[in-house]
């Protein structure tokens, strides 16, 4: 009997050892303090933390995984949804995959095309995780055709949406051509006596792309069937409205220069798993992906006036969507250029966005729009960036940004802001992995809070350990004072820990064109991340 038991244990250990385990642990915590000089009041539960533990096991054609989340001891960080409270297993999945078929049950992420019809994803900086819970089947029908079908509900905190999502995607990719079609439908129970009430709302998508040796072009058109109009979480009886979207991307690359441009038009294209989530401030239950198509800037002052996409229908504010685009141009100078002998790089970006040109009748619950009509200007910017390596040890980046931001139309109110910002960064590389990075910034504007200045320094003792200090100072009409921060970071293999102290400016934090609002706060923060 002992021999049999020993053999069974050895067999179990052998099977466990044959598995491939991977995972990560992330903890982001903050202790909030009050600062009476600036009117900052710490919340009653001053210590808060967002904690994530992810574990995955792969064995041959099978994969399983879980993600455990704990918002303890007193709830999530400020600016995160109240639905993220407590601790439990937040997501889990099981997947089987071979050369022709992939089946997933549980929670999963998915994206069709460029995401305008469907994108589920996780971004912890934004507190966003709109994973789908259900079943998904992927199949390679022929050598160049991929088919995806799914049925699911969307994650909302530790629960799921009331509405369900059914979706199909067909993608053909061969010989530089890409063709695709998608159908994404949301069902919510019909509680309205109107026989025409749209329980099913569906987005239909068709896309076409070509990629050559030096250039590529992609286009996608989408149509959204009739949906109810929502005002402050309540359905507006009467007319139901359709929506649509169009996006075209063009890219060209030569030996030392490249060019790309994007055009997009969105009309009544907000799409949520539950209608009452419409326009919620936490980006919860968003089915599709409509990021702002503007350059993501690297410097703090250049992120004070950030644009958010405006795909929504809000008759009371004369809004039905947006139209515009952006262009990028990159140029790399020759090594023997007068600007430097080490590959000076120049980047230019410009974007322009307006409301749709439309007429609105709020009393009649009606509107009509021009398809290619440009209405009230919402945002405009252009920026020039030059990167130069002056020697083996010295490099620099100089960036200039010119902005128009219709703060009243985008956020509410009446302000129109014209701002110009310049940032200069220099890096000195030393021996044994040491380096010093310095930057200075200035923002000029006569509107809103007025002028800002900023400066920062970061020193790397080696590849593992660094310290930093930076300050933003608002000395304009708002005169909101200094936003001084300091901290240190230590990295060892796949682990990273950072400690920071200071005052954070209230406003939008954006990742990939999607933003969340963070209230002004003051205190200590500790972040830890490790993977295995």
84 occurs within a structural domain: no
Residue 101 and residue 139 in contact, taking contact as beta carbons nearer than 8 Å: yes
CB under 8 A, 24+ apart: contacts of 158-163: 158/69, 158/83, 158/84, 158/86, 158/88, 158/90, 159/83, 160/133, 161/273, 161/274, 161/277, 161/285, 162/188, 162/189, 162/273, 162/274, 163/187, 163/188, 163/272, 163/273, 163/274, 163/275
Is pLDDT at 16 greater than 60 in this prediction?
Answer: no
Whether residue 131 lies inside any domain: the answer is no
Look at residue 7 and tell me if it is in a domain: no
- The answer to whether residue 153 scores a pLDDT higher than 80 is yes
What DSSP element (H or E) covers 411? helix 407-411
Bridge partners for 215 per DSSP? 252
- For the stretch 469-505, pLDDT in tens is 999 999 977 667 899 999 999 999 999 999 999 999 9
Q: Domain for residue 8, yes or no?
A: no
- For position 329, which CATH number holds? 2.40.160
Nearest to 521 by CA among 489, 483, 471, 487: 483
Residue 360 belongs to a domain: yes
**Mean pLDDT, all residues of the chain:** 93
**Burial environment of residue 189 by CB neighbours within 10 A (0 to 12, 13 to 18, 19 or more):** exposed
Per the structure, the complete domain to which residue 341 belongs is given by 291-492
Which band of pLDDT confidence, cut at 50, 70 and 90, is reported for residue 14? Answer: low
pLDDT at residue 19, rounded to an integer: 72
Residue 363 covered by a domain: yes
Whose tokens are 């999502």? That residue is 165
Angle (CA) 456-461-464 rounded to 5° is: 105
Q: Among all chains, which residue has been given the structure tokens 């800037």?
A: 297
pLDDT of residue 443: 97
- Position 17 scores a pLDDT of 52
pLDDT digits 0-9 by tens, 238-291: 889 999 999 999 999 999 999 999 999 999 999 999 998 999 999 999 999 999
Nearest Cα neighbor of 441 from 459, 423, 468 is 423
Structurally, the chain folds into a number of domains equal to: 1
- pLDDT of amino acid 135: 98
Structure tokens at 528: 């830890």
Query: What does the alpha-carbon distance between residue 87 and residue 382 come to, in Å, rounded to a whole number?
Result: 45
* 302 domain-assigned: yes
Residue 357 domain flag: yes
**Residue in the block written with tokens 């930093």:** 468
Could you give the CA distance from residue 341 to residue 333 in angstroms, rounded to a whole number? 9
- Is residue 8's pLDDT more than 90? no
Is the full-model pTM beyond 0.75? yes
């Amino acid at each position: 009997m002992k021999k049999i038991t020993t053999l069974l244990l050895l067999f179990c250990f052998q099977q466990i050892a044959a598995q491939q385990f991977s995972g990560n642990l992330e903890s982001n915590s903050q202790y909030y303090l009050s600062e009476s000089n600036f009117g900052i009041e710490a919340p009653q539960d001053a210590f808060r933390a967002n904690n994530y533990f992810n574990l995955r096991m792969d064995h041959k054609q099978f994969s399983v995984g879980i993600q455990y989340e704990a918002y303890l001891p007193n709830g999530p960080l400020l600016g995160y949804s109240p639905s993220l409270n407590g601790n439990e297993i937040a997501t889990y999945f099981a997947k089987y995959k071979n050369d022709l078929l992939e089946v997933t049950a549980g929670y999963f992420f998915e994206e069709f095309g460029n995401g305008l019809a469907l994108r589920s994803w996780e971004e912890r900086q934004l507190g966003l995780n709109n994973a789908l819970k259900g079943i998904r089947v992927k199949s390679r029908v022929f050598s160049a055709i991929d088919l995806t079908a799914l049925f699911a509900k969307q994650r909302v905190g530790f629960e799921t949406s009331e509405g369900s999502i059914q979706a199909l995607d067909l993608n053909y990719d061969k010989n530089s051509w890409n063709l695709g079609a998608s159908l994404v439908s949301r069902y919510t129970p019909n509680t309205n006596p109107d026989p025409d009430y749209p329980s099913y709302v569906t987005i239909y998508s068709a896309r076409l792309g070509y990629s050559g040796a030096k250039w590529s072009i992609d286009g996608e058109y989408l149509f959204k069937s009739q949906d109810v109009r929502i005002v402050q979480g309540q359905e507006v009886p009467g007319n139901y409205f359709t929506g649509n979207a169009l996006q075209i991307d063009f890219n060209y690359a030569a030996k030392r220069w490249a060019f790309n441009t994007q055009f997009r038009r969105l009309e009544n294209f907000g799409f949520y798993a539950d209608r009452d989530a419409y326009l919620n401030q936490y980006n919860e239950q968003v089915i599709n992906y409509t990021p702002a198509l503007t350059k993501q800037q690297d410097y703090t002052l250049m992120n004070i006036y950030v644009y958010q996409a405006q795909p929504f229908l809000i008759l009371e504010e004369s809004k039905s969507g947006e139209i515009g685009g952006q262009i990028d141009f990159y140029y790399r100078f020759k090594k023997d250029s007068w600007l430097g002998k080490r590959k000076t790089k120049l980047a230019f970006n410009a974007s322009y966005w307006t409301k749709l040109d439309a007429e609105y009748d709020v009393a009649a619950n009606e509107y009509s729009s021009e398809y290619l009509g440009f209405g009230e200007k919402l945002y405009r910017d252009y920026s020039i960036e030059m990167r130069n390596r002056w020697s083996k040890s010295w490099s620099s980046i100089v960036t200039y940004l010119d902005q128009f931001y219709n703060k009243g139309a985008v956020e509410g109110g009446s302000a129109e802001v014209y701002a110009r910002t310049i940032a200069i960064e220099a890096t000195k590389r030393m021996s044994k992995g040491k380096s010093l990075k310095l930057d200075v910034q200035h923002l000029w504007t006569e509107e809103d809070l007025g002028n800002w200045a900023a400066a920062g320094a970061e020193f790397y003792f080696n590849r593992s350990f660094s310290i930093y200090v930076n300050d933003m100072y608002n000395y304009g009409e708002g005169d909101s004072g200094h936003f001084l921060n300091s901290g240190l970071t230590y990295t060892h293999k796949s682990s990273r820990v950072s400690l920071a102290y200071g005052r954070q400016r209230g406003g939008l934090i954006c990742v990939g064109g999607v933003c969340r609002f963070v209230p002004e706060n003051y205190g200590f923060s500790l972040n830890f991340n490790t993977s295995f």
